Structure formats: structure tokens, C-alpha cells
Amino acid sequence: MIAESGHYALVLALGLALIQSIVPIVGARWRDAALMNVARSTALAQLLFVAASFAALVTLHVTSDFSVANVYENSHSLKPLLYKITGVWGNHEGSMLLWVSILALFGGLVAAFGNNLPLSLRAHVLAVQAWVASAFYLFILITSNPFLRIANPPLEGRDLNPVLQDIGLAVHPPMLYLGYVGFSISFSFAVAALLEGRIDAAWARWVRPWTLMAWIFLTLGIAMGSYWAYYELGWGGWWFWDPVENASLMPWLAGTALLHSALVMEKRNALKVWTVLLSILTFSLSLLGTFLVRSGVLTSVHAFATDPTRGVFILLILFVFIGGSLSLYAWRAPALKQGGLFAPISREGALVLNNLLLTTACATVFIGTLYPLALEVLTGEKISVGAPFFNFTFAPLFVPLLLAVPFGPLLAWKRGDLLGAAQRLMVAGIVALVAMALVLAWTYGGATLAPLAIGLAVFVIMGALCDLAERIALFRIPLSLSLRRARGLPRATWGTAFAHAGLGVALIGIVCETTWNSEYIGAMKPDDVARVAGYQLRLDGLNPRQGPNFREMVAQFTVTRDGEKVSVMTPSKRNFTTRGASTTEAALMTRGASQLYISLGDTSADGAIAVRIYHKPLVLMIWWGPVLMAFGGMLSLSDRRLRVGAPKPAKAARALQAAE
Amino acid sequence: MTRKQRRLTLIGCALVVLAIAAGLVLNALRDSIVFFSTPSMVAEKHLGPGKRFRLGGLVEQGSLKRGDNLAVTFTVDDGGATLPVAYKGILPDLFREGQGVVAEGALDASGVFRADTVLAKHDETYMPKDVADALKKQGHWKDDYGAKPSASAAPTQGAVR
């Protein structure tokens, strides 16, 4: 019954979405408030039904109802409860249902909290939202229904892919989807603006918090996924430039650009047309990401789905929405009024530079990700574009961006003073040079690029602090007065500083991890000692253990440093009986921001076990950086300016005027 | 500055950045692309030593030999030809004889493929797509190599559609 109810709720949600796609638009054309208001109730009802459908699938997984194909293929009665729940989105059908649930959630949020939006704008936004929703409901119902029954129910399920049985999976996909799908709001606003042929600063004020929210989730989602790959896949890598990772990085880059250009639009009423285009591009890249992951076109570690009908369907969705919105843009964008003059050296100018570099970097990732696919389709030749490509293209574009980051907030709107900004950044520059010299002296004869990169990172962090110090006039006026000023600073300013500093923090982590990573790989027998980065690791022994749905071989290592015992580490190798698959559970020991990492390989006939030990200096900073960025985003989101409703647009009474 | 000059400055900057990016991309595409080959393709093309490529195929049954200090050798077979592979390190969890594998590296002077990476795949039923395509093309594809769970499991055939 539950499966059928879930299926039925999903069909009802499709019906509601179809109504929501058409009626509000008609209402807006006829200037009929009642029809336009239909959007609000349908969006909320749609959320209710999708939530019911999702809850039904969760219930089926929790109660291990193996008469449902999706549960049978991805669950097991002995699986821990947490993984029964997370297993819901550990497969294609369930993750698509999560996708539409989040889409409906955002639609519902706009409906619930969009009371201060002009009626016709809200109607248009929710209608566009419903177009996207309808397409994905159809996709799920036609090609990937999670509620299909099996005629002769088996007694036991096939279990979830063991690699996915991890707490990382509980958090990573929902976060990522909240990010991906969150950008649908700015997309809907952009398309609505194009349909209405009208756009103003108030529009940007509504779009920015939504974009910011999506961006925060995407940032955390990517960081989470990266950390998960780091500890779960057992080779200590945290970013592989895998197409699926790129698929999430592209919307992030475009979204970051959008965040900044929306700022210009909100404050200065400039870059309107560009902001609309970026909104469309960002969500298009999110859709592309969904396509790349879900269609299985890629030779990728993430490809769960291999059914071509799904690929064709998503490709169609992609084509209609991206092609349609870009055509609409080409047709209607010239009608949008341009505004806001500014000199090249100004806050606006800096933000344009930011946008230019971010979108170009995004384009290089796009080329690197899709070129192999295009080449294969056109010539049949198979190539792979690996990390070196991205390191050679992406990194050089990020260097000028990072150099420019500290300058941006110090420049005035409209016309800035570059020399003045440089003077105020003097302290940051000096600290960066000192840091560079220290690192260079300490690692004399080693890598030359790394100290430079560290200097750049320090410059970015110090630049963010300089900006704050400048604003509260630190050391120039009495400290108490400075503190009072600090309290009075808008939270968005603190947010900017945190987010920019996070960039520097992440860079330090990346440089340290890649440059001064030390490793030991070898076969060890009990009582053997390995030496890595000043630590001695003694293998005490190997013990078998029984888990809930797996057996594991646990190796115990005693870690000592200078003769003193530091810790005991227990990496293990798990064998999942149902799928006959094994996973490696790495053991991590954290010291400050650095980590010691052990993962196990095979046991040989003579009782020796293959061991891989890494010492990764400051590796945790790679993830602290994004967390700082997200924290900055949250501060900015809590800014009073964004919470207080945006002012009504000047021409709110337009609906009463005669049609043009 | 007039509006026109400002716009030209902007467009100029954009073009400079794009030109630099295009240069970087083209340069990187020339240097850092790795081609995919199977053992028969290696034999046909007479790939010389030192040229990096990705080798794909099936690990031949009984060919895996473990040496000292994590050195391993195995043979990759695509039904038409075989190629010996040498690797030092820990093989991924899903590496098995008779299953698909993708390794990256180059041939040495004696014709042995020296792999520095053996790629791991998430799913144990997942056949590397490149390998599957190449095997299909050469007519050595057997359906049970990369059988999906739903195709191999009898009970799902009764699924209500």
C-alpha cells in the first residue's frame, strides 16, 4: 500500500505542477489576481505531496519491504538504520526523488515567504519553477520509478554498495542537491524577469539571498564530498578532477560569479543583463551536472546509472531548458534597461574582473570535462583529460583572481582609488612576503612554487583582515571605540571577510598537502615498524571482527614519536558478504590541522599485509576553508538588510496602468 | 572617459583574459591528454616506449603474480592480444582476475607496460566503459562481464512495469 500511495502522491504532484505551470501565467496575462494566486497554493500542495511520496520511499526502505524493486536492489535487512535511510538517495531513482523534493521545497519556500514579491513576478517565478518540476516528475514516473513492485518478492535484499555505507553519504548528496536545485530559484527569477521584460535593483535584492543560500549548501556539499572521497576511497586523494566532481564545481564557479554580480546589480543597478545570463547559466550547469551524473555518459567512478533511455530523457530536458531560456534571453534581454555607470577602477570594476576570471575558469573546466565526450562522439577516439590539464589551465586563472580578491572590498563604488587600496594593503603585502621568505628559508632547496603560493594565500587572508581593520579604524582610534565600530559593522562585511579568508585558508591546505605530503607504502608483518614524517608506526597485529552486515580484518598500529606513545590507529578492511565486495576503512589521526592516514591493502600468503601510510601536513585546512566560506555566507545571509523585506519597486502600481 | 571608451576597456580586458585562457587550454590539451588503448590496439599502432597511455582490458585468469615489496605483475587480455603489466603498490579493492581493469602508464624498452596508476571503480558490477566498448567492437563481449544487477538477478524480471 505504501508504495502505491507514494507513487500516487507523485502523480498528484505532477498534476499540481502542470496546473502551476500554466494558470499563473494566464493570470498574469489577464492581470487576474485570483489566477495568479493559484501558484501559491499549488506550490505548497505540491510540496506536501512530494514530501509524502519521499516519506513513503523512506518508510519502505526502513521497513525493508523487498517487494519493491528499489528496496530490494539497494537495501538489506541487516543494514544499520542510518544507512537504510541514507540508502534512499544512494541510488538513481531515490536520488532523483530527493532532487524533485528539494525543488518542491524551494518552490514552497518562495510561495510561503514571497509575500512581499509583486504578484505577477511571484506568479511567473512559481510557474517557471513548475516547468522544471513537471519535466523531472515526468522523468521519474516514466524512466525511473522508485515504487515498482516485484511480482515474487525475494526474502533478502542485495544491499547497498558498501562504499556508500558511510555517514558521508548521509550528508553529501542532500547538501549538493540543495545547492544545485537552489540555483533553480535564481533561474526562475531570471526567466520571470525576461518574460515580464522588467528588472530592477529590488529584483536583485530578492535573488541574492536565494543564490547565497544555494551557494552555501553547494560549498559545504562539495567540501563534504571531497572529505568523504579522502577518507573512504582509501588513497588519500581529495580531488581527482573527475567529471562528476567537475560537474559540481562548474555550478559553484558560476554561482560564485552570480553572487558577486547580483551585488553590483543590487547596489548600483548595473550589470543587469549579465546577471540574468549568469542566473541562467548557473542553473544550466546544475542541470548539466545532473545529466552527467545520472545518464552514465561518463567513464566515471560515480556512474551508477547505465540506462540509455534515461540519458536521452535528461538530455531532452537539458536541451529544452537551456536552449529555451537562452533563446528567450537572446530575444528579450535587449529590452532590459541598462543602468549604472562606473569607471574601470572601482568596486564594480573589481567585481567584473572577478566575474570574468570565474566564468573563464568555469569555461576551462567545462572544456576539460566535455572535450573527451565530444571527441568520442565525433571521431570515436577515446582520450582522458586528467589532473595535469586542469592544473595547467585552472591554476593560472585563479592566481590573478586571488591577487585581486583583497583589493575588491577596499575600492569604492563607482570610482575607486587603486593606489589608496594598495597603501592600505601594505601590511598584508609585507606579512605575505615575510611568510614567503620564512617558508622558502625553512624548505630551502625544495619546491619553489609552493612558498609563492603560501605567500599568496597569506596575502588573501591578511587582505581580508586589513579590510576589517580599516573599517573599524583599528589602532587609529581608541580600542574600545574600534570594538564598538566592529559591532556596528554590517554582518555582510564580516561575511565577505570570512569568505575571502576561507579562500586563503583552503589554498594553504592545498599547497601543503600536495607539496609536503610524505608516504610509506610497503608490506608489513606484525611487530614491523614504519617511519613516516617523524612518527614510528608499529603493527601490533591483525584481528578479525564481525560487523552488522560485514566481516572485517582490523590492523592495530601503535604510533610513537620520539619514544613516546601518541596514539593507537586501527584501519580495517571490510568484506561485505551480500555483494562480495570489500572496502578499505582508513584510520586517521589528527594533530592540529595535519593528519596521519593509514589504509590497508591485501594480505599475502606469508601473513604480511600491504600498508599505505601518509602524513598529510595541514590537510584539514583544505576543508576548513570552504567551511569558513560557508560561514561567511551565512553571516551575510543573516544581515539585517537581507532579512528586512526589500523595498517595493518604484513602479509597483504598474499593474494598474494600461497595457503597453 | 566616455561610455563607449569604458565599454571598450571592458571588452578589451575580457578578450585578453579569454585569449590567455584559450592559450592555456590549447597548450594543456596538447601536453596532458592521455589516449586509451587495448592490447590489440597497442600491437597495431606500434606504440613506442615512453609514450603515456591508458591500457584497458581484462586481467587474465592466473596471471597475477606478487613479488617482493608490493611489486605485482599481471597480463591484460582483450581477446585478441595480451600485454604484460608491471605495477608497484596497492591494487584497488575491486581488482580481480577475470575482471576489467584500466591502468595508466607507458611501455618500457622490453615491451612491458609499466603502470603507475591502476584505476579503482566504485561498483563491483561496473565494467569500465572504455573496456566494455573496446571488447564489444572486437567481438569478444560476453554479456555476463558487465551484467547489471537487475539483468542478472532473476527475481526482478517479474517487476511490475
List the CATH number of the domain containing B76: 2.40.50.140
Residue with the larger pLDDT of the pair A287 and A306: A287
Q: Of A396, A413, A445, which residue is a domain's last?
A: A396
Q: Are A22 and A127 in contact (CB under 8 A)?
A: yes
Is A151 in contact with B66 (Cβ distance < 8 A)?
no
- If you write DSSP's letter for every residue of A479-511 in order, what string do you get? HHHHHHHHHHS-HHHHHHHHHHHHHHHHHHHHH
The residue segments making up the domain with residue A460 are 425-516+622-628
| ipTM of model | 0.74
A404 in any annotated domain: no
Question: Residue A94: CA atoms inside 13 Å, Cβ hemisphere, count?
Answer: 28
A206 in any annotated domain: yes
Could you tell me if A371 and A431 lie in one domain? no
Determine the distance in angstroms separating the CA of B49 from the nearest CA of chain A, rounded to an integer. Answer: 19
Could you tell me if A110 and A212 lie in one domain? no
Nearest CA in chain B to A161: B123
Contacts of B29 in chain A (CB under 8 A): 371, 385, 389
Could you tell me if B79 and B116 lie in one domain? yes
Q: Are A369 and A246 in contact (CB under 8 A)?
A: yes
Per-residue pLDDT at A660: 36
* Alpha-helix runs per DSSP H in A520-658: 621-637, 640-643
Give mean pLDDT, residues B64-89.
86
Instruction: Say which DSSP state B112 is in.
Output: -
Determine the distance in angstroms separating the CA of B74 from the nearest CA of chain A, rounded to an integer. Answer: 16
> Would you call A30 an interface residue with chain B, using a CB distance cutoff of 8 Å?
no
A329 in any annotated domain: yes
Cell numbers at B126, concatenated: 561496473
Could you tell me if A498 and A435 lie in one domain? yes
B156 in any annotated domain: no
> Would you call B121 an interface residue with chain A, using a CB distance cutoff of 8 Å?
yes
Could you tell me if B52 and B22 lie in one domain? no
Which residues in chain B (41-80) have CB-CB distances under 8 A to chain A?
A: 54, 66, 69-70
A416 in any annotated domain: no
Could you tell me if A511 and A537 lie in one domain? no
The number of C-beta contacts closer than 8 angstroms across A and B is 141
The vertex-B153 CA angle with B152 and B159, nearest 5°, equals 120
Could you tell me if A445 and A560 lie in one domain? no
Could you tell me if A159 and A206 lie in one domain? no
Is B31 in contact with A392 (Cβ distance < 8 A)?
yes
Could you tell me if B75 and B129 lie in one domain? yes
Determine the distance in angstroms separating the CA of B29 from the nearest CA of chain A, rounded to an integer. Answer: 7
Nearest CA in chain A to B124: A581
Is A161 in contact with B122 (Cβ distance < 8 A)?
yes
A642 in any annotated domain: no
Could you tell me if B10 and B84 lie in one domain? no
Determine the distance in angstroms separating the CA of A443 from the nearest CA of chain B, rounded to an integer. Answer: 27
Could you tell me if B28 and B63 lie in one domain? no
Could you tell me if B68 and B99 lie in one domain? yes
How much is the pTM? 0.89
Measured in degrees and rounded to the nearest 5, phi and psi for residue A473 equal 50, 45
Per-residue pLDDT at A494: 93
B157 in any annotated domain: no
Summary mean pLDDT of chain A: 87
Query: What is the tens place of the pLDDT at every residue in A361-382?
Result: 999 999 998 888 888 778 777 7
Could you tell me if B67 and B133 lie in one domain? yes
Q: What is the largest CA-CA distance in chain A?
A: 90
- What whole-number distance in Å separates Cα of residue A529 and Cα of residue A415? 64
A524 in any annotated domain: yes
The vertex-A582 CA angle with A579 and A585, nearest 5°, equals 135
Could you tell me if A527 and A441 lie in one domain? no
Residue with the larger pLDDT of the pair A35 and B7: A35
Summary mean pLDDT of chain B: 74
> Would you call A375 an interface residue with chain B, using a CB distance cutoff of 8 Å?
no
Question: Is a pLDDT exceeding 80 seen at residue B4?
Answer: no
B154 in any annotated domain: no
Contacts of B20 in chain A (CB under 8 A): 396-397
Could you tell me if B12 and B77 lie in one domain? no
A228 in any annotated domain: yes
Band (A18; pLDDT cuts 50, 70, 90): very high
Is A385 in contact with B33 (Cβ distance < 8 A)?
yes
A480 in any annotated domain: yes
Is A392 in contact with B13 (Cβ distance < 8 A)?
no
Q: State how far the alpha carbon of A66 is from the alpha carbons of A95, A156, A158, in Å.
A: 19, 7, 10
Could you tell me if A68 and A155 lie in one domain? yes
Could you tell me if A390 and A454 lie in one domain? no
Could you tell me if B16 and B53 lie in one domain? no
Per-residue pLDDT at A304: 36
B153 in any annotated domain: no
- What is the sign of the dihedral through the CA atoms of A425, A430, A431 and A433? positive
Could you tell me if A60 and A98 lie in one domain? yes
Determine the distance in angstroms separating the CA of B109 from the nearest CA of chain A, rounded to an integer. Answer: 24
Number of domains in chain B: 2
Could you tell me if A441 and A390 lie in one domain? no
> Would you call A144 an interface residue with chain B, using a CB distance cutoff of 8 Å?
no
Could you tell me if A387 and A452 lie in one domain? no
The residue segments making up the domain with residue B115 are 35-142
Could you tell me if B53 and B97 lie in one domain? yes
Per-residue pLDDT at A302: 39
Query: What is the tens place of the pLDDT at every residue in A247-287?
Result: 999 999 999 999 999 888 888 888 888 999 999 999 999 99
B137 in any annotated domain: yes
In chain A, the percentage of residues whose pLDDT exceeds 90 is 49
Number of domains in chain A: 4
Per-residue pLDDT at B133: 65
Could you tell me if B79 and B43 lie in one domain? yes
Could you tell me if B66 and B89 lie in one domain? yes
Instruction: Say which DSSP state A537 is in.
Output: E
Count of Cβ atoms closer than 10 Å to residue A221 Cβ: 24
